[in-house]
Amino acid sequence: MYFENGRALIVEGGAMRGIFASGVLDAFLAEQFQPYDFAIGVSAGASNLLGYLSNAPKRSYNVITELATSKTFYNPRRFLQGGDLVDIEWLWEAAGEQYPIDKSTLLSNIPLWATVTNVDTGHADYYRINADNMKNAMIATAALPIAYKSPPCFSGGCYTDGGVADSIPVKEAYRRGARDITVILSHPLSYHMNPAKHPWMMKKMLFRYPGIADAMIHRSEHYNAALDFIRNPPADTTVKVLAPPEGFDIKRLTMNKTHLDKGYQMGIEAGQAHMRNLQGLHGLDDENCHFCI
């Protein structure tokens, strides 16, 4: 599907760092702010977009702070005994029971794509969410390699976390015709991903999935290339960025609710500031705001 001169919303993943994006999107929902033609989410970013596009404020916040902090979801002892470090399928089922999605609202809204990484090729695939693939695609996009031992399989392929191959799918949005792209990141703007320290270890741990091992080894290159695109977009494209402030200290597996609440509030404030900036209330321009409006 191509959107000529379209407006896209891209939401990065990052596990518990997704609490920032949940705050941003809840701020948008409070003002019924949804000026986009399509959206692409990665891992926790896709989950956040489910709440946003189904008009369910605080759903993502509740899933992160109440369910993702549970020992049923995150269990290091289970992992050491040969099980999954994180139980993505349990999280999906529990979230659906406790915070059900209004599927009619979601599926009648703008198109949503979830990014997954193909186990065989190590490349990103993009599944448009529909009633038939929703569960499989949403589990796959968040199925962290190693932490979730058995890659989900559907539609003729097996997949792992979309962030492995394409953490910030801005180029995919551009390929689909978007020329006004809004990106919600899960790291501060100063972040730069370092190369994998021990490629040999990655290959050993993922010897059954060489495509994924290769993607993990080269992940920093793809990630930083996406940041370069954001900072230096094509001449015909505008990129707007919302990123956590430099004091954002949420890690991938932060479980402390006080820290998570702080990160959520940072997202609320960033979302509110973004909408004010777009209205010109701060008098910002290219010189004093660069791309971060």
Give the separation between CA 46 and CA 43, rounded to whole angstroms: 5
Structure-block tokens of residue 48? 């956040």
Instruction: Tell me the CB-side half-sphere exposure of residue 49, using CA atoms within 13 A.
Output: 32
Catalytic position from the list 22, 43, 54, 186: 43
Where residue 264 falls (left for φ over 0; alpha for ψ -120 to 50; beta otherwise) is: alpha
3-class SS of residue 106 = helix
Contact 3, 181 (CB under 8 A): no
Closest among 45, 27, 34, 51 to 271, alpha carbons compared? 27
Q: Any catalytic annotation for residue 43?
A: yes
Contact 57, 51 (CB under 8 A): yes
Contact 37, 3 (CB under 8 A): yes
Q: Any catalytic annotation for residue 180?
A: no
What's the distance, CA 176 to chain centroid? 18
Structure-block tokens of residue 212? 């994924």
Catalytic position from the list 87, 125, 161, 166: 161
Considering all CA atoms of the chain, what is the largest pairwise distance in Å, rounded to the nearest integer?
A: 57
The residue type found at 221 is: E
Neighbouring residues of 290: CB distance < 8 A, sequence distance ≥ 6:
none
Residues carrying an active site annotation: 43, 161
